[in-house]
């Protein structure tokens, strides 16, 4: 049974999910398709029954199904894995491509738009089903938390809005939005497309971190906006791969809590280029070796 706990020293949240400890790990050779990969076409029976797919008819390009080893929600025996709020919810997997060797950075425009569109759609579907917040994310590489090397995203829903998201929303309102302010700073912007912009944050504990954001506020992102976001995200991941020799990374989608019509949808791209040491762990203060303005120049040139 998964259990929600709060660290009384720091107020940080965690979810104890013992079922996750037995999940399989297949990250040795992401370029090869292993026999029996549960996420590859032809092995659909190795996953729980699918929730949806795109397209709905014919061969799938993106496929969604419950996580067999969920952090929250029903377990393999159908029972709830949550002893207490806010761990209740759903945990879904989104196979973002049928190809075992095709990371998000390798997708064409249509494939990137379909993959990101499904991530957004599942967030909104879980909100509509009663979740207070749904977190969609991509873990690429073992250092970023991936246990299966077939490219995929995940979505985890909760019945409350976590502290980090609540804190972020205080600076992303219609009246005063930090992302909107940053979008007007030329030395911060590294690339754009109609309806989407890529920029570097003022300060980040993660070197080479980038934010890819919609240019408009709102709960949803239309088809054209989704394509722009997806293609720009794909191009940013390519630029980081070229600059940093294909690092592990996380992509975190913040589409706002349920009902947050004034949200500013965006994605955090977080390369895992360094690990925290004793000082960082002891103080909560990160030490970085380069300012965002330094890597912005190179990434801007690669995206141009």
Backbone angles phi, psi at 280, to 5 degrees: -65, -45
CA pair distance 115, 280, nearest whole angstrom: 35
> pLDDT tens, 281-303?
898 888 888 888 888 999 999 99
**pLDDT class for 85, splitting at 50, 70, 90?**
very low
Tell me which residue of 256, 179, 165, 244 sits closest to 211, measured CA to CA.
Answer: 179
Backbone angles phi, psi at 213, to 5 degrees: -130, 150
> pLDDT tens, 222-240?
899 999 999 999 999 999 9
SS3 100: coil
Residue 191's beta-bridge partner residues? 198
Take residue 95 and report the two structure tokens written for it: 């196979």
Q: Yes or no: say if 283 and 205 are a contact pair by the CB < 8 Å rule.
A: no
Take residue 66 and report the two structure tokens written for it: 């419950």
Q: What proportion of the chain, given as a percentage, has pLDDT over 70?
A: 83
What's the rounded mean pLDDT across residues 80-108? 80
Take residue 10 and report the two structure tokens written for it: 């720091």
Burial environment of residue 124 by CB neighbours within 10 A (0 to 12, 13 to 18, 19 or more): middle
CA pair distance 148, 161, nearest whole angstrom: 28
**Please, where are the H alpha helices in 139-277?**
163-169, 178-182, 223-244
Question: Helix 292-303 vs helix 223-244: angle between axes, to the nearest 10 degrees?
Answer: 110
**pLDDT class for 86, splitting at 50, 70, 90?**
very low
**Please, where are the H alpha helices in 75-205?**
109-128, 163-169, 178-182
Take residue 293 and report the two structure tokens written for it: 């303005």
Q: Yes or no: say if 115 and 231 are a contact pair by the CB < 8 Å rule.
A: no
Burial 26-54 (b: 16+ CB within 10 A, else e): beeebeeeeeebbbbeeebeebeeeebbe
In this prediction, residue 81 carries a pLDDT of 37
pTM for the structure as a whole? 0.89
The mean pLDDT of the chain is 86
């Amino acid at each position: 049974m998964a259990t929600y706990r709060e660290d009384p020293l720091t107020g940080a949240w965690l979810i104890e999910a013992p079922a996750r400890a037995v999940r399989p790990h297949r990250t040795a050779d992401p370029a090869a398709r292993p026999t029996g990969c549960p996420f590859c076409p032809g092995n659909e029976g190795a996953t729980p029954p699918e929730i949806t797919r795109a397209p709905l008819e014919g061969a799938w390009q993106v496929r969604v199904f419950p996580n067999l080893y969920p952090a929250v929600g029903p377990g393999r025996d159908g029972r709830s894995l949550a002893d207490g709020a806010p761990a209740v919810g759903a945990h879904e997997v989104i196979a973002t491509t049928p190809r075992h060797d095709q990371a998000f950075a390798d997708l064409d425009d249509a494939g990137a738009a379909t993959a990101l569109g499904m991530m957004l759609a599942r967030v909104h579907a879980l909100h509509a089903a009663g979740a207070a917040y749904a977190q969609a994310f991509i873990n690429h590489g073992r250092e970023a938390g991936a246990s299966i090397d077939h490219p995929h995203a995940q979505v985890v829903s909760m019945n409350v809005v976590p502290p980090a998201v609540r804190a972020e929303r205080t600076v992303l309102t219609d009246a005063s939005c930090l992302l909107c302010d940053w979008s007007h700073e030329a030395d911060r912007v590294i690339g754009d497309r109609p309806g989407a912009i890529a920029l570097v944050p003022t300060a980040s504990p993660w070197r080479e971190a980038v934010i890819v954001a919609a240019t408009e506020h709102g709960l949803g992102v239309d088809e054209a906006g989704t394509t722009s976001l997806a293609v720009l995200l794909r191009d940013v991941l390519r630029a980081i791969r070229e600059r940093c020799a294909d690092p592990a990374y996380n992509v975190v989608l913040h589409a706002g809590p349920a009902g947050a019509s004034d949200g500013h949808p965006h994605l955090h791209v977080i390369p895992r280029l360094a690990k925290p040491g004793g000082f960082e762990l002891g103080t909560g203060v990160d030490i970085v070796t380069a300012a965002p303005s330094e890597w912005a120049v190179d990434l801007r040139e690669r995206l141009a």
